């Protein structure tokens, strides 16, 4: 999952970014409203953490612009404690949730997790696909009840596929959601990771849809990606 943090307080921005990276997210950072608006408008994030008090363009305006331009990305706003009206204007401008400063970073992480899974249509933090389970709170994966050991990159890939299961996802989409803006993207890398991940899942679950991309499916499939009869 890839997120954007728009926060002009450099320390706070870096603390948030470090916490999200630690939790397995890919993070882009913006330190003023204009930069934040531009990134949110041009990059496909799974969620955005947006401070309201920002230089160049305030958070409410940034959010209003995104929504007017049709960007539906889940947005969590950060508001100052003594400015209750920011919550009202933020939610009216299209925010999905808010956290009041000062906050515990764990709360921001939990709210963003919830926004991401709800926007993908999952009501609880345990996401299932056949015998495959992902606990989004702990990032633990099990297959038929047995723990599956994944690298952080494989986990990120699987988490994206599990949030969007039964849908064909192109290599471009995967690349955009697994790497930050500075990464030198090579779509062949995705194939390599898909291959490794498929092996760890007993050759089942990840279907290759020729020319289109990949699909995580709950029924058993063999190694070639063809449907098992
Ligand atoms: Ca601020």
Confidence at residue 81, expressed as pLDDT on a 0 to 100 scale: 80
- How close is the Cα of 53 to the center of ligand 1, in Å? 4
- How close is the Cα of 177 to the center of ligand 1, in Å? 26
Q: Over 70: is that where the pLDDT of 221 sits?
A: no
Please provide the CATH number assigned to the domain covering 2-119. 3.40.50.2300
- How close is the Cα of 95 to the center of ligand 1, in Å? 17
- How close is the Cα of 166 to the center of ligand 1, in Å? 40
- Rounded Cα–Cα distance for residues 114 and 123 (Å): 8
Residue ranges per structural domain of the chain: 2-119, 126-227
The CATH-assigned architecture of domain 126-227 is: Orthogonal Bundle (1.10)
pLDDT, one tens digit per residue, over 72-111 is 999 999 998 888 899 999 999 999 999 999 999 999 999 9
- How close is the Cα of 20 to the center of ligand 1, in Å? 19
- How close is the Cα of 71 to the center of ligand 1, in Å? 22
Q: What is the CA radius of gyration of the chain?
A: 18
DSSP per-residue letters across 79-108: EETT-HHHHHHHHHHT-SEEEEES--HHHH
- Rounded Cα–Cα distance for residues 96 and 60 (Å): 13
Matching residue, tokens 């204009």: 34
- How close is the Cα of 194 to the center of ligand 1, in Å? 40
- How close is the Cα of 182 to the center of ligand 1, in Å? 24
DSSP per-residue letters across 127-186: EEETTEEEETTTTEEEETTEE----HHHHHHHHHHHHTTTS-B-HHHHHHHHS-TTS---
Average pLDDT, the chain: 92
- pLDDT-derived band at 227 (thresholds 50, 70, 90) equals very low
- How close is the Cα of 10 to the center of ligand 1, in Å? 9
- Rounded Cα–Cα distance for residues 165 and 93 (Å): 30
- Rounded Cα–Cα distance for residues 179 and 182 (Å): 8
Confidence at residue 186, expressed as pLDDT on a 0 to 100 scale: 66
* Other Cβ atoms within 10 Å of 43 Cβ, number: 16
For the chain, give the percent of residues with pLDDT over 90: 82
Q: Over 90: is that where the pLDDT of 189 sits?
A: no
Q: Over 70: is that where the pLDDT of 29 sits?
A: yes
- How close is the Cα of 24 to the center of ligand 1, in Å? 25
- How close is the Cα of 79 to the center of ligand 1, in Å? 9
Confidence at residue 118, expressed as pLDDT on a 0 to 100 scale: 94
Q: How many CA atoms lie within 13 A of 219 on its CB side?
A: 8
Q: What does the block give as tokens for 46?
A: 């799974």
């Amino acid at each position: 999952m890839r997120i954007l943090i728009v926060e002009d307080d450099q320390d706070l921005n870096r603390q948030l970014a470090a916490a999200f990276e630690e939790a397995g997210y890919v993070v882009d950072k913006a330190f003023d409203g204009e930069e934040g608006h531009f990134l949110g408008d041009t990059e496909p994030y799974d969620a955005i953490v947006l401070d309201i008090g920002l230089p160049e363009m305030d958070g409410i305006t940034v959010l209003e612009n995104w929504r007017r331009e049709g960007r539906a990305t889940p947005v969590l706003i950060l508001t100052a404690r003594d400015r209750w009206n920011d919550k009202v204007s933020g939610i009216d401008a299209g925010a999905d949730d808010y956290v009041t400063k000062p906050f515990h970073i764990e709360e921001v992480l939990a709210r963003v997790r919830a926004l991401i899974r709800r926007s993908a249509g999952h009501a609880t933090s345990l996401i299932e696909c056949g015998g495959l389970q992902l606990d989004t709170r702990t990032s633990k994966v099990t297959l038929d009840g047995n723990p599956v050991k994944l690298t952080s990159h494989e986990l990120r890939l699987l988490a994206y596929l599990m949030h969007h299961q039964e849908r064909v996802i192109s290599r471009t989409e995967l690349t955009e959601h697994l790497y930050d803006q500075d990464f030198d993207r090579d779509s062949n890398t995705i194939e390599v990771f898909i291959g490794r991940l498929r092996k760890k899942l007993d050759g089942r679950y990840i279907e290759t849809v020729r020319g289109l991309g990949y699909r995580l499916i709950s029924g058993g499939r063999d190694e070639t990606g063809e449907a098992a009869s």
